[in-house]
A and B are shown apart, each in its own frame.
Chain A
Amino acid sequence: MSLMERDPNAPSVWRGEMQVTNRYTFGIAGERFFRSIKNEGRILGTHCKSCDRMYVPAAAFCERCLSQLDEWVDVGIVGEVVTFTHLYVNFDGSRRQEPETIVFIKMGDGGIIHRLILNDNEHVSIGMQAQAVFKPPAEREGSILDISHFELLLN
Chain B
Amino acid sequence: MSDRVAIIGVGWSGYRPITPELSYKELMYEAALRAYNDAGVDPRRDIESFVTVAEDFHEGTSIFDEYTPDQLGAVLKPMHTISGDGLHGLATAFMLVKTGQFSIVAVEGHSKASNILSMPGVVAYAQDPVLNRPLRINTHFIAGMEMNRYLVDSDTTQQQCAQVVVKNKRNALDNPSAPYGAKLTLEDVLSGPPLSWPLGVRETAEHADGAIVLVIASEEKALALSDRPIWILGCGWSNDSPGLENRDWGQAHYVKGAAQLAYRQAGINSPFQAIDFAEVDDLYAYKELQTLEALGIFGHGEAGQVTEEGLTHKDGSLPVNVSGGSLGMGNLLDANGLARALEVVLQLRGNAGSRQLEDVNIGLAQSWRGVPTASGAVAIFGN
Contacts and interface: CB of A to CB of B under 8 A. Distances in A.
**Contact, chains A and B (beta carbon distance below 8 A):** yes
Interface of A: 1-2, 6, 12-13, 16, 18, 20, 22, 24, 26-27, 30, 34, 55-57, 63, 82-93, 99-100, 102-104, 109-115, 126, 143-145
Given A18-B57, A85-B196, A143-B134, A1 B30 contact: yes
Given A86-B194, A144-B132, A18 B138 contact: no
Contact of B138 (A34, A63, A83, A90): A90
A89 B138 contact: yes
Nearest to B62: A18
A111 B147 CA distance: 18
Contact of B196 (A20, A26, A87, A145): A87
6 contacts: A1-B29, A27-B130, A85-B197, A88-B196, A110-B246, A113-B131
Instruction: Classify chain B's interface size.
Output: 35 or more
B90 to A, nearest CB: 24
Given A87-B197, A89-B120, A93-B120, 18 more contacts: A6-B21, A13-B115, A24-B129, A26-B130, A83-B146, A85-B141, A85-B197, A87-B141, A88-B196, A89-B195, A92-B118, A92-B138, A99-B197, A104-B145, A104-B245, A113-B137, A113-B244, A113-B245
B144 A86 contact: yes
B141 A102 contact: yes
A20 B244 contact: no
Contact of B137 (A12, A20, A91, A110): A91
Interface in B194-219: 194-199
A133 B199 CA distance: 27
B149 A89 contact: no
B120 A91 contact: yes
B196 A83 contact: no
Contacts of A26: 130
Contact of B152 (A99, A111, A126, A143): A126
Contacts of B149: 82-83, 126
Contact of B241 (A57, A63, A82, A89): A63
A99 B135 contact: no
A57 B128 CA distance: 12
Contacts of A18: 57, 60-62
B49 interface: no
B194 A84 contact: no
Given A1-B30, A18-B61, A91-B120, A84 B138 contact: no
A123 to B, nearest CB: 12
B148 interface: yes
Q: Chain B CB within 10 Å — which of A56, A57, A114 has the most?
A: A57
Nearest to B60: A18
A63 B136 CA distance: 26
Given A63-B241, A99-B194, A110-B246, A91 B136 contact: yes
Interface in B245-283: 245-246, 249
